[in-house]
Amino acid sequence: MIPAVPPSTTAESVRDVFDTWTIILLAVAVLIFVKLRSVLGQRTGRERPPYDPYAPRDAVRGATNDNVVTLPGRAAEAAQKPVEPSEPAVERWKGIAEAGSTLATGLDAIARDDKSFDAKHFVAGARAAYEMIVLAYAEGDQRALKNLLSRDVYEGFEAAIRERESKGETVETRFVAIDKSDITGAELRGRTAQITVRFVSQLISVTRDKSGNVIEGNAEKVTDVTDVWTFARDLSSRDPNWKLVATEAGQ
């Protein structure tokens, strides 16, 4: 005869077995959760939208625009919408033009049409162009001049160089300093921007005849020179360069 198992003993054994499996299953669940979290990460509310292979490419790029570098060209121009400058009028052309002046109005018109326009960068470029043109003229470098001058101005410079060469004359010019380069005028004529700059410079310049004798200037004297030059650029063109369109002696 098989002895009977006391009821209390049976219940406790079943409960012990159940608790043991519960603990094991709970441990496995925790392990799986930790593993999934390490692989998939956790949401922070700043996740990018999932990649959709059927979405337009522009939409995909827009979803990750923090890593997109816009390249120059037509795409960049198309992305720029005509908006008013965000800077206060008093600060916009600080050091360049007084707020409310005719000059400031002209610069505003150019900046509205050309979002990349920066007056201070323009002045820096104009200074470099001024020095390059003066030195190229002295050296008779017509190739360099052709890239920097409008057709009419180039023809005038070219004629002067040819006349000088026909006489056997040479010019020696050396810049000492450019003391001032101030914008004195700005306007937008259709899609053509024109900006006038007044240069005050110090240079040494001398002209010699074919025998080497000085016929103009002084090789030992620094001369103060004032020039008023006007530069122009077609804003509808992809060519970003400004060209010299007019020159005159300043006071």
| Per-residue confidence (pLDDT) for residue 19, from 0 to 100 | 61
Distance CA 197, CA 119 (A): 11
Residue appearing with tokens 């070219």? 158
With a threshold of 0.75, does the pTM exceed it?
no
What are 32-84's pLDDT values in tens digits? 544 444 433 443 333 333 323 333 333 333 333 332 222 233 333 333 444 44
- Residue 218 CB contacts under 8 Å (≥ 6 apart), including other chains: 204, 206
Q: Which range, 43-52, 89-98, 166-175, is most confident?
A: 166-175
| Per-residue confidence (pLDDT) for residue 29, from 0 to 100 | 57
Percentage of the chain lying above the pLDDT 90 cut: 59
| Per-residue confidence (pLDDT) for residue 250, from 0 to 100 | 74
Would you say 178 and 131 are in contact if contact means Cβ atoms under 8 Å apart?
yes
